[in-house]
Amino acid sequence: MSSRIPTEFQYFENVQKPLNVWRMRLARVLFRQDPKLPDEVIRTWAQSYYDADPVAERFVEEVYLKQGQAAGRAMVEKALAEGVHAVPDAPESLKQLFAEFEQAPAWLDWRRVEQGARVFRHYGPQLYNFLGSITLDAYQENSVTKPLIFTGAYAGESANRRFLETASFWRDVSSPEAMKSGGIGVKTAVKVRLMHVFVRKGLLRHPQWDLEAWGMPISQGDALLTLIAGSIAPGIGLKVMGYRASREEIESMMHFWRYVGHVMGVQPRWYPSTVEEGLSLLFASFIKGPKKAGEDGRSLAHSYVQSFAPGDADTGFTFLRKSMDYWLSLGMTWFFLPGDTYRNHGLPKPGVWGLAPVLQFPMVYGLETIRKHSRWADDWRDKMAQRASARWLNQHLGVQGAEYKAVEQFTR
């Protein structure tokens, strides 16, 4: 493990700035806690920007890079469907990969995994727009932006397709018992894991990748933030829409995402164990970077928002549906994204659509209250959310479904 810290990880300098000192004081009032993590924890997290996924990388080097991505994907598909023993002459690296994620970690609690998955999926398709929107804040940082820019992911016409594949991933891993052996969540997580490794290998060879400034491409450091944002952000942020996740439910979502990360090769040196630690990590992420992504970040943000808009060929019901998608997405982005980030990205104003999230509060809060007091209502709400998510994905992603295929030629 590296002891280096990327030069663009500037938490220790930024935390002393007057604006961030004021933000810390405000956070103490709002969340009734000290948002400052111990320096040794911050340092451990900073060093993890040079941590990758050595187990999966050995397989990618041995198969993907020598025999081609198609051959590697076919081998993995067969192993996921029938077991490693069904793969003729399975390389030792493939056996090690499957042995690693099939071995349950000592901290695993299946009850909490299933509870966390249930809480996560009960937000339904609204969650997809919420998580997509708040991701735009990370588009100010080069370590997040450059992999997407260099590969062309989330840029131009591919933006909507890539986002929908991410939403399909969220749906797969959070389905009932999806992370059990042979479950759809495990299969999807492993495919995404290998896609990330394949892309990482290409980015490390890219002449413009700045290892000193940004750390490892798709690092454990940024991946940790993704896991925590997937649990803390909806658990806390969507309360303004009327959702009522309890502390226990939020921490179960954290546990759920920790296990999803484990299967995906995201096994950080330190992982938050409480809501307070998770909030403190997100606060640290907000102030740690120099926000130098510039035009690349703005381009990605605009591609994301514009990807929901109807095209020239869309007419009738399709035009109306896509117009509604566009304004709802823009309203969600404006409402949840920090104001300075929204302005820096130069995103269009949503008008009255900016109030759409909070206007749903009475209905959502009422349904949540009933759910929390009735197991029958909670089960019904869970089934309705699953159906709504499936319908939304089928409508937007089409019959082709998600492929989770890595780009082989970079656009820059």
The domain spans of the chain are 105-397
With a CB cutoff of 8 Å and minimum separation 6, the contacts of 137 are 286, 337, 338, 341
Window from 11-15, 143-147, 365-369, 399-403 with minimum mean pLDDT:
399-403
| Averaged pLDDT score across all residues of the chain | 92
Question: How many angstroms separate the Cα of 377 from the Cα of each of 241, 242, 366, 374?
Answer: 19, 16, 12, 5
Q: Which residue has the tokens 């961030």?
A: 20
* pLDDT (tens digit per residue) in 302-349: 999 998 888 888 888 889 988 999 999 999 999 999 999 999 999 999
* pLDDT (tens digit per residue) in 353-407: 999 999 999 999 999 999 999 999 999 999 999 999 999 998 888 766 777 776 6
Q: How far is 209 from 213, CA to CA, in rounded Å?
A: 9
Query: Would the pLDDT of 409 be above 80?
Result: no
pLDDT band at 98 (very low <50, low <70, confident <90, very high): very high
* pLDDT (tens digit per residue) in 266-316: 999 999 999 999 999 999 999 999 999 999 999 999 999 998 888 888 888
* pLDDT (tens digit per residue) in 159-170: 888 889 999 999
* pLDDT (tens digit per residue) in 210-251: 999 999 999 999 999 999 999 999 999 999 999 999 999 999
